Homo-oligomer: A and B are copies of this chain.
Amino acid sequence: MKTTKAARDAGGSSAHARRPKRGYHHGDLRNALMQAALRQIATDGARALSLREVARRAGVSHTASYRHFPSKESLLAAIAEEGFVMLSDAISAALQAHVDDPLAALQASGIAYVEFGVQYPHHLQIMFGGLISSQTEHPALKQAADGAYELLREAVRQAQRAGLIRGADERIVSLAAWAQVHGLAQLIAGGQVDSADGRPPARYLATEVTRLLQQGLLNGPKQK
């Protein structure tokens, strides 16, 4: 999945695996701690996460993380922020693959949302699991979260501008789109919906489910 850029830099020539010459100084501890935290969540569940165990997994004394994160929650906030950035990247890529077709772009961004959640379920859990008391206390996180949602809203606006979505309030349409892919991602990532080997893959489910909503958008309100 993701590579620890600086971790590779440190050693320079030493190909891989065998511990690079890192001695007292780690080189990329901040990043290593974030990855260790994700590994612990994968193993023990998000609510069992402890700073000391994270440090252990990173091979470092349990107080070292205070050089990089002022508290346990700020480590979680950093991971959540990373998640929103990755999500934004995924949505952006989907949008750019369909610049000529705003409706396809909207659907693709929804599918990207679901795929992100399935691929990074632990990020999703930290982003939305109520582990961070208040986003307001972590401005960078709040900004990243707002940015991701803004991409989605902009996709809705473009489809409206192009005349592909009729009638409905943009806020409601955006919320409907968000709720749908968010719910689907949560259900799949949370194991409530099987999408394992042999079962319909997440991408297929996301495609079909978003298609249904899209049809509703296309045709506009029928007048009650």
Q: Which A residues contact B (CB, under 8 angstroms)?
A: 45-47, 125, 128-131, 133, 168-169, 172-173, 175-176, 178-184, 186-187, 190, 192-193, 205, 208-209, 211-222
Count this chain's copies in the assembly: 2
Query: In the complex, A193→B145 CA distance in Å?
Result: 12
Are B179 and A133 in touch, CB under 8 angstroms?
Answer: no
Q: Shortest distance in angstroms between A142's beta carbon and chain B's nearest beta carbon?
A: 11
Are A128 and B183 in touch, CB under 8 angstroms?
Answer: no
The 5 tightest CB contacts between A and B, nearest first, are A183-B183, A216-B216, A215-B216, A179-B183, A179-B184
Chain B residues near A179 (CB, 8 Å)?
180-181, 183-184, 187, 209
- Most chain B CB within 10 A, of A175, A176, A193, A212, is at A212
Given contacts A219-B215, A222-B218, contact A186 B176 (CB under 8 A): no
Q: Considering only CB atoms, which chain B residue lies closest to A134 in the complex?
A: B191
Query: In the complex, A130→B125 CA distance in Å?
Result: 9
Q: Shortest distance in angstroms between A190's beta carbon and chain B's nearest beta carbon?
A: 6
Query: In the complex, A214→B221 CA distance in Å?
Result: 10
List 16 interface pairs A-B (beta carbons < 8 Å), by A numbering: A45-B130, A129-B129, A129-B130, A168-B212, A173-B212, A175-B184, A179-B180, A179-B184, A180-B180, A181-B183, A183-B186, A186-B186, A212-B216, A214-B216, A215-B220, A218-B222
Query: In the complex, A153→B66 CA distance in Å?
Result: 50
- Most chain B CB within 10 A, of A214, A216, A218, is at A216
Given contacts A176-B209, A208-B169, contact A131 B183 (CB under 8 A): no
Are B133 and A45 in touch, CB under 8 angstroms?
Answer: yes
Given contacts A211-B221, A214-B216, contact A182 B176 (CB under 8 A): no
Given contacts A47-B131, A130-B47, contact A176 B125 (CB under 8 A): no
Chain B residues near A47 (CB, 8 Å)?
47, 130-131
